């Protein structure tokens, strides 16, 4: 088997992808927070921005645990999700309708990250990198909590408020 095609190298490749994804999100989250009309959504995004900066630091620790230099690999998946989210941010949707769209875009990013972290953690455990798996599990828990918070915000009123305009024949803006 080619040395470059090992599970270790696949895991390292995925960590590089996650590193780039987290760095892209550090740049995108402030724009989302700025466009949020409800304080709860804005605060949730700002809180997760701080966590995301911590995720970057944890991934740098992960590289160190593996004896590797912290280096990203362009994450096209998150780039696409951010691009789609930018369409909502720049749209004519306003208020809670835009907030509902922001939640949807943010949850796409969370689900992408959750899937990636689950795989990297499973691979790390399989190869006996228990300390690495534990470190990345902290990030996974924060990603899941952020997703749950977004769900709670949507179901806790934003979606209902956004739908009120549709029920009364309201427009996009």
Structural domains of the chain, ranges and CATH numbers in brackets: 3-167 (1.20.1260.10)
Would you state the pLDDT for residue 171?
46
Would you state the pLDDT for residue 2?
61
CA distance 111 to 86: 18
Type and span of the H or E element at 151: helix 130-153
CA distance 64 to 68: 6
Would you state the pLDDT for residue 165?
67
Question: Tokens 């970057």 map to which residue?
Answer: 56
Cα 26 to Cα 37, 55, 105, 140, distances in angstroms: 20, 10, 15, 17
Q: Look at 102 and 172; give whichever has higher pLDDT.
A: 102
Would you state the pLDDT for residue 4?
77
CA distance 151 to 145: 10
User: What number of CA atoms fall less than 13 Å from residue 105's CA on the CB side?
Assistant: 28
Which of 11-15, 19-23, 57-61, 156-160 comes out lowest in average pLDDT?
A: 156-160
Q: What is the pTM of this model?
A: 0.91
CA distance 112 to 110: 5
Q: How far is CA 66 from the centre of its chain?
A: 23
Contact status, residue 68 vs residue 12, Cβ threshold 8 Å: yes
CA distance 23 to 36: 21
Would you state the pLDDT for residue 50?
98
Whether 172 shows a pLDDT value over 50: the answer reads: no
> pLDDT tens digits, residue range 105-127?
999 999 999 999 999 999 999 99
- The tokens for 41 are 């959504």
């Amino acid at each position: 088997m080619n040395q470059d095609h090992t599970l270790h190298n696949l895991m390292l490749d995925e960590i590089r992808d996650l590193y780039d994804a987290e760095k892209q999100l550090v740049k995108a989250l402030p724009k989302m927070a700025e466009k949020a009309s409800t304080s709860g959504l804005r605060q949730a995004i700002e809180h997760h921005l701080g966590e995301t900066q911590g995720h970057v630091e944890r991934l740098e620790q992960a590289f160190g645990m593996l004896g590797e230099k912290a280096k990203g690999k362009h994450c096209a998946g998150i780039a696409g999700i951010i691009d789609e989210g930018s369409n909502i941010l720049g749209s004519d949707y306003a208020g809670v309708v835009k907030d509902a769209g922001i939640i949807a875009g943010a949850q796409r990013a969370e689900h992408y990250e959750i899937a990636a972290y689950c795989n990297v953690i499973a691979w790390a455990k399989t190869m006996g990198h228990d300390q690495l798996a534990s470190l990345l599990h902290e990030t996974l828990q924060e990603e899941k909590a952020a997703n749950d918070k977004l769900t709670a915000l949507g179901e806790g009123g934003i979606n209902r408020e956004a739908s009120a305009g549709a029920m009364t024949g309201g427009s996009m803006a």
